[in-house]
Structure 1
């Protein structure tokens, strides 16, 4: 155990050990709900590094964990080879970028299948229905009652609560008629509808 800790807390692995401690603390905060796993997505673009498709925190965590593992393995191998002191230091310095490069390459391979678990597009929202036409599914629609069926842009349908302004007396909205959803009321969780 002492030899393991010696490698973990000495150059070059100590650089990645510090970063790994930060990553572990971050994921503990995610587990307790203090931060979201996608907290850094707006701050950094991982597509340029070919690590896109997953949240930044996932790809960076993978790079750091893999670099730490490779650096630790390389440190142990260097210690076992018994190279001269000067050569050992030079190889330890080279081990840092080599570990990062290998970790980046492995992370690129790992994020491709993981990207399916993190879709790019946000889920559907009620606001997406504003501006669409609907078919009234109740006998009447007034300020306090009404339902309509609306078809989303992806082809799915939903039954939504609709209300009609008391000031709008143009045409009746009855069962089977077509209406236009022109606004959404967050407090009442319904759409304002007008004859179409």
Structure 2
């Protein structure tokens, strides 16, 4: 006896000759995941799997996609005598980046976020296709609008499910300044951990004062800043929760400010 996708997803067990038989209709399953709209996220899920395989092998970095995420605002930062920083942001960035800030998971590497969003979107569309869209598959005029609606609903729902799933690891990535104020960070040195730092993306590790923080940093100096480079923290933008950094010349008269903290 064949078990349809709807029955399979419902967890229905078929009884025959007093024995429990669970037969999965693999053909129907493959038909759904390679049919519109599920095929969109099936392909993306394949790309995600190849990406993480490349990360494991060492061909790619985990921060590969972060540079493409533009969080809102072009930042102008002014420092006063107390090295307290106020930021005035103008302009607008990507709606996806803004939404991640609103969700509170912008500190997590975008590769992890995107992977979870794709996985949840794929799973939700699989469910929707099995329970809802299957009823409209004989009328393309009705099927297409419902399929497009399913993509939208599945994607939005996946964002919130991603937030829920990533909450446990958020403390490992978030900028927690509860015990270390911004004025203690500004003027210190840190080491770049991301592949590069520009106006839209960058991460650096601060280890002064017995702490170990991963900071979101931005570079407005026009100079090229790369992974492993030591940089000087010169400002903080409260709105985007990012630090401004400039290249640090080791042959200057400045000492390692980070060691003083």
Query: TM-score by structure 1 length?
Result: 0.58
Residue 103 of structure 1 and its aligned partner are, at CA, apart by 0.5
The answer to whether the Cα contact below 8 Å between 1:53 and 1:112 also exists between their aligned partners in 2 is no
Determine which of 95, 98, 119 is the counterpart of 1:48: 98
Is 1:87 the counterpart of 2:87? The answer is no
The answer to whether the Cα contact below 8 Å between 1:78 and 1:88 also exists between their aligned partners in 2 is no
Is 1:32 the counterpart of 2:57? The answer is yes
Determine which of 53, 56, 67 is the counterpart of 2:121: 67
* Residue equivalent to 1:110: 165
The answer to whether the Cα contact below 8 Å between 1:52 and 1:111 also exists between their aligned partners in 2 is no
Stretches of structure 2 lacking an aligned partner (at least 5 in a row): 1-25, 72-95, 177-187, 191-206, 212-249, 257-261
- The higher-RCO structure (CA 8 Å, 6+ apart) is 2
Compare 73-82 and 10-19 and name the one that shifted more: 73-82
Structure 1 distance, partners of 2:31, 2:61, is: 34
Stretches of structure 1 lacking an aligned partner (at least 5 in a row): 122-126, 130-151, 157-182, 185-190, 192-196
Structure 2 distance, partners of 1:104, 1:37, is: 20
Residue 110 of structure 1 and its aligned partner are, at CA, apart by 2.4
The answer to whether the Cα contact below 8 Å between 2:133 and 2:147 also exists between their aligned partners in 1 is no
Structure 2 distance, partners of 1:89, 1:43, is: 31
Per-residue displacement from partner, 1:116-150 (whole Å, max 9, x unpaired)?
A: 232548xxxxx949xxxxxxxxxxxxxxxxxxxxx
Measured on the aligned residues, the alpha-carbon RMSD in Å equals 3.2
* Count of residue correspondences: 135
Q: How does 1:43-192 map to 2 (within 5 A)?
A: 43-44=68-69, 45=71, 47-50=97-100, 51-78=105-132, 80-81=134-135, 85=139, 86-120=141-175, 128=189, 153-154=208-209
Query: TM-score by structure 2 length?
Result: 0.45
Residues 1:64 and 1:54: Cα distance change in structure 2 (over 3 Å): same
Structure 2 distance, partners of 1:97, 1:128, is: 44
